Amino acid sequence: MKKAQLEKILKRYDYQDSDLLAILQDVQTQENYLPRKTLEEVAERLAIPLARVYKLATFYRTFSLTPRGRHLINVCLGTACHVRGATMVLERLKRDLGVKAGGTTKDLRFTLDTVRCIGCCSLGPVVVINEEIFGKLNQEKAAKLLKEYN
Amino acid sequence: MADKEMVRFAIDGQEVEAEKGTMLLPVALEYGFEIPHLCYHEAVSPYGACRLCLVEVTKRGRTRLTTSCNYPVDEGIDVTTDSEDIQRARRMILELLLARAPHSERIKKLAYEAGIKETRFSLMDVGDCILCGLCERVCREVVGADAISFISRGDKRDVGPPFADPIACIACGACVYICPTDCIKMEERGDERTIVKWNRTLKMQECKSCGKPFAPLFQLNWIIDKVNLPKDFYDLCPVCRAGR
Ligand code: SF4
Ligand code: SF4
Ligand code: FES
Ligand code: FES
């Protein structure tokens, strides 16, 4: 992240270290991950220990310390989706993308992750890509979905 | 400022007195009650991580199990330190701790005293760390170096320097000293000191008089900076300085 961009974010929060969480969220949104160098700059500009920034950055699942893909795929592995074959869908996506759960494709197109029930069990198996929900999936349908994103 | 408000309450039937709001564990220890504890140290703030210091507190007719290291005392509470329920809970906690820190002499001893011969849980490969957080608290609150912290959460929770880079560690050894399971090792070889767990090695200052290395240079400069001492303050080791 460019220095000026970070400065803009920090300014938005008046350089208050009590807003560290919100600051990290803004960095994550803009960069799709938290670059080490940016975290070091955050610590320096707010005059707080890097250990504190790192503690927070590693605590929340929304943060990632490595680059995430442009599109985030979440496969629901909640009980309802599970009994309807969610693991088959997950296995297929893993195979097609060549990544493990939690992994990111080399071209940074996709990050594949799993969740536990997103609350629309009757649609299971469910997959969420970015903010959009896709239900009643099977292996073929899931594989086809990927083509819609680049 | 208002006068200190003293409160009176009972521990195992004995009447005790303490300043309102102080934590129960130190009060009980001062009165000579024995409550096992691992993550409490009077030099740092309480954290309630190990759960070992459980007691029963009855307040307004209601009794509950609670950790004593972070329970502020209040007028009229009734504390029990060693009931059946407490012992049962403690034994379970000790078995769990034993699975994390099977080599820790202190935990082995506590477990032995509680009548535990071995743990039913599978041993974990976490280098005997029980995540009590004493090291990161002493580094932040006492040393002020803020070199280490908790990392991640859930089953990935760990403690260490950010990005595994101990750049802020001054190798003072406070965490080595305070760790209840003895899992932070310190080695001194020639004029170098290493904090093994954090992978930090620093050169030590040699005493200008007797020639013995006595403390990491980086640490001394850090203290000189922080407290504004004269630059030559640490030319001599404490022994030689005292003998002058
Ligand atoms: S040795 Fe390093 S990590 Fe440990 S208390 Fe000192 S500065 Fe902190
Ligand atoms: S290293 Fe020692 S002091 Fe630090 S959290 Fe682990 S057990 Fe506690
Ligand atoms: S289990 Fe998948 S949405 Fe509920
Ligand atoms: S000493 Fe109270 S929870 Fe560890």
Output the CA B54–ligand 4 centroid distance in Å: 8
**Chain B interface mutation, best of A37, A48, A50, highest count of B Cβ atoms under 10 Å:** A50
Question: Is ipTM > 0.90 here?
Answer: no
d(CA B166, CA B198): 6
Chain A closest-CA separation from residue B136 CA (Å): 10
Quote the tokens at residue B177: 């000293």
Q: Quick one: pLDDT band at residue B213, thresholds 50, 70, 90?
A: confident
Kindly list the distances between the CA atom of residue A34 and the CA atoms of A2, A31, B159, B172, in Å, as whole numbers in the listed order: 13, 7, 20, 31
Please report, for chain B, the start and end positions of each structural domain, with discontinuous segments joined by +: 6-113, 134-242
Q: What is the DSSP letter of B72?
A: B
Using the atom order of ligand 3, give the atom closest to the CA of residue A125.
2
Query: Whole-model pTM?
Result: 0.84
Cα A18 from Cα A46, distance rounded (Å): 10
List, for residues B10-23, the tens digit of each pLDDT value.
999 999 999 999 99
* pLDDT one-digit tens code per residue, B59-115: 999 999 999 999 999 999 999 999 999 999 999 999 999 999 999 999 999 999 999
Say yes or no: A116 contacts chain B, CB-CB below 8 A.
Answer: no
For residues B163-189, average pLDDT: 95
**Residues of chain B contacting residue A35, judged by C-beta atoms under 8 Å apart:** none
Phi, psi of A37 (to 5 degrees): -60, -40
pLDDT (0 to 100) of residue B31 = 96
Ligand 3, CB within 6 Å, residue ranges: A 76, 78-81, 117-121, 124, 126
Q: Stretch A123-150: mean pLDDT, rounded? A: 92
Q: What CATH architecture is B6-113? A: Roll (3.10)
Q: Say how many Å lie between the CA of residue B127 and the centre of ligand 4.
A: 20
Q: Is the Cβ–Cβ distance between B116 and B98 less than 8 Å?
A: yes
